[in-house]
């Protein structure tokens, strides 16, 4: 069982372990974070949490029953009712519906308590798993883009308005 939690500084040890354990797996699909990211992990995490506190991001971790981080699902660059969705799920959880469930949960938070009206996302053309997650959760492709040197696709999801009471 997995639980989605807002990112806190006490997640740091489990989050770092997750990032290190899955570094090569993630680097096959997206740009590697680089050695500096890991060397300065605590400082970078504190900066992200300060940005979250300022309302710029909604950052989440997906934890298992033992408290180990199995994924990150984030809404970043929050402005004017929209944000960009980004996620990374542990290699050992791939293909089990974990990413789809977590993205659905974050989309519900975005439309509800976070008050957002739309989300956007990007992925590389060769990341079939990520494209499938976005499609299954209602995102529509809006065109081609580039992620570094790799061809990619942009996606958009209009969020439902909360029902009037």
Looking at the structure of the chain, the number of domains it has is 1
In a domain, 76, yes or no: yes
Rounded Cα–Cα distance for residues 87 and 61 (Å) = 9
In a domain, 26, yes or no: yes
Mean pLDDT calculated for residue range 6-32: 93
In a domain, 100, yes or no: yes
Rounded Cα–Cα distance for residues 22 and 53 (Å) = 27
Mean pLDDT, the chain, whole residue set: 94
Mean pLDDT calculated for residue range 58-83: 97
CATH assignment of the domain containing 30 = 3.40.630.30
Mean pLDDT calculated for residue range 70-84: 97
Percent of the chain at pLDDT > 70 equals 98
Q: Which 3 state secondary structure label does DSSP give 47?
A: helix
pLDDT over 60 (residue 164): no
In a domain, 85, yes or no: yes
Rounded to the nearest 5°, which phi and psi values hold at 134?
A: -60, -45
pLDDT over 70 (residue 37): yes
In a domain, 164, yes or no: no
Confidence of residue 32 (pLDDT cuts 50, 70, 90): confident
Mean pLDDT calculated for residue range 110-139: 95
Rounded Cα–Cα distance for residues 73 and 137 (Å) = 14
Confidence of residue 165 (pLDDT cuts 50, 70, 90): low
Mean pLDDT calculated for residue range 51-66: 97
Domain that holds residue 131: 2-158
């Amino acid at each position: 069982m997995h639980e989605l939690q807002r990112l806190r500084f006490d997640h740091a040890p489990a989050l770092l372990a997750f990032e290190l354990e899955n570094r090569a797996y993630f680097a096959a699909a997206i740009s590697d974070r680089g050695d500096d990211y890991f060397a300065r992990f605590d400082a970078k995490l504190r900066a992200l949490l300060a940005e979250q506190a300022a309302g710029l991001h909604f950052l989440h971790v997906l934890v298992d029953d033992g408290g180990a981080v199995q994924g990150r699902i984030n809404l970043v660059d929050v402005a004017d009712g929209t944000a960009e969705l980004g996620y990374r799920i542990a290699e050992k959880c791939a293909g089990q519906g974990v990413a789809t469930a977590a993205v659905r949960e974050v989309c519900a938070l975005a439309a509800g308590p976070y008050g957002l009206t739309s989300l956007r996302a990007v992925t590389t053309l060769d990341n079939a798993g990520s494209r499938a997650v976005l499609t299954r959760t209602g995102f529509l492709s809006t065109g081609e883009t580039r992620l570094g040197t790799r061809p990619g696709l942009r996606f958009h999801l209009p969020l439902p308005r909360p029902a009037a009471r």
